Structure 1
Amino acid sequence: MKGKELGVYHHLVDNRDIMLWQVQRQVDRLEGQSIKPNSETIYEDAKILLGYFHWLNEQGFVTNVQVGLRTWRANFKSKRMLSYIQVKAKVKIDANNIRVLDKKSRQRQSDFLITEGEIKLLLESYVDPVYRCIFNLALGTAMRPMDLVKFPFIGNRANKHILSYSEMDNGHKTTSYTVYESKGNKDRKIVINMEDLKALEEHYITPYYGERKKLYKKKYGHSCPPDILFLNKKGEPVTEKMIASRTNDAKKKSMKVDPTFRPHLSFYQTRHWWPTQHIIATFGERLLTENLEVMYLATAQAIQNQMGHEDIETTYKHYIDMARVIMMVHRGHSLDLIKAPALSVGQFITSLSLPTGIAKPDFSLQEAG
């Protein structure tokens, strides 16, 4: 594209150019033995570019890029592709290859479970309290954003029992909830702690939902449907994109307040929290003293149902290791208080007593001043 005007770029580029661009980025990276940009970043950047061409095509502009094709994605796991890149980069076979660089990139990130302090700071950094409540519900259920935005004020079908906490049968510590058309267009039944629904009512439904329903009606000309619960300050239904954007804003704010706040943390950390909490609650100190192979099946099935994973074995063992680390950190500090899943998110966090001299965080969801 050298020497070409910017205005004609979209006329000239095609799917092959996009693939070659990805390959060249890997060549440059390998030549410099750099961990950046990693393969995932290169792929995500290509997706952004494809999104641009998809928009152009929808707007009637003429392009040579067919967004529906899958051939544009460079397969950096292919031995043939790796060999080609190494030759182009003039790197010997015994040099660090792409996979090694990707591993180094991941090692630069601390993927340990989001901490109590980080949760507290992130919750305080959300400007709109609806996102704090969504984050809290995600911690307690492991639901994806695509599922959370569909959580109803009043449920129907298998969820017809879902109402405001004060109107539900509070005789049980948990209740079932059916997630419809989740990832892969699949349905699954999960468990929600009633205390998390109580927190949702106290910190969002009672103080904010009524007024936001009025804004919704004013904006859209009709009453807010009962299958929509989460509305932002403008009365607009919260979307997945809004959750990602507002969480990113809250993360940036958190990093300014506390420079040690890890920059790679995202809303998806809530998905890691639930299974780790569940494993700690199920096994307790036995995590450190027993071989848990015989216990895997039942607990793995519970996590599989809650998270919607098809193949849980590798993921489950990862969470076992994470739970063991947490138990080692907190061993001897009020482990007898861990009773989840009979505990809500807030109760579980509070039950993990911190070492002497470190103040216990306040996990109130009240709007930050």
Structure 2
Amino acid sequence: MSSLSNILQLGIKELRSLYHDPALLALIVFSFTLGVYSAATSVPETPHRASIGIVDEDRSQVSNQIINAFQMPYFLKPVDIDYSQIDRGMDSGVYTFTLNIPARFQQDLLAGRKPTIQVNVDATQISQAFSGAGYIQQIIGTEVAEFLKHYRAVTADEVVSVVHMEFNPNLISSWFGAINEVINQITMLSIILTGAALIREREHGTIEHLLVMPITPFEIMVAKVWSMALVVLAAAGLSMFFIIEKWLQIPINGSLALFLAGAALHLFATTSIGIFYGTLARSMPQLGLLIILTLIPLQILSGGMTPRESMPEGVQNIMLAAPTTHFVELSQAILFRGASLSIIWPQLLALVTIGSVFFFVALSRLRKSLN
């Protein structure tokens, strides 16, 4: 009971220290609010109010049909321009896209020839250039096909491929980006907060006060682990409810409680990593460098940014020792596919095993550093 009381009181002390650290508090708030929102919306997956100018040299039914197909909110109302205005308009940034529909375009279509429409793209508008060009090609292809149906028979394909999108029917990238950002922030902040808590003790000189008290390194470490993990877990839960579900309107298919339980096991491992780094680093800049060297490979190779199946087999096997690999897998299974405990229990077991190893390695290092 005395040991539990020490762990509780030391954890409360850590929470008070964090409360009086405005920089870390601001980092937590930003990471789970604007950080998540910007990750979801910074790169739009569809063009939005893109400006477009069209040179219509054909003035036919099909050219008019193509022009009328560009509508809000994807495109602004097309501007009728002449050929001399194409370069000038794109150089000045007036138009993101310009089209040149050649003369006799409809006549060539009906004659069975293959006329072309020139599409110019301002690639400096990187957020809309690639997706917008694809939309324009699709719109032109659809309108031309609809036009030709009225003039010639359309032969049915012998084999038709029908694709059904599961879990994300409209392929909205913000759904993936926002949830993946929450997963990444849980990992990053748990390492930073626990490492900073130990370095803060050393910089303020309070670590010496702890050493002269009847407190063991185990109690010191457990106190820092539970207090910082609780802060990150609470922030993640609030972010999932207020930012993901309410603000971004992203549906959560699975159990939020099960996700938080998996996050708690993940935090057991990552906070231990933070303690280990805190024993290696002598200052906050050193801690930051250690985190950068570790965090970026963890995020890239754990399956959060790219599928693990596309990585070399050796990398896949090595990353099985990282807690982020299993956490990303169970998080996506729960939040995207609505997986239950019967499906994700191998990942939970892996997190318990990896977390235990990291905990005792960090505890051993802490004891040596305090002695």
Q: Check whether TM > 0.5.
A: no
Which has more helix, going by share of residues?
Answer: 2
The alignment's TM-score, normalised by the length of structure 2, stands at 0.30
Q: Which has more radius of gyration?
A: 2
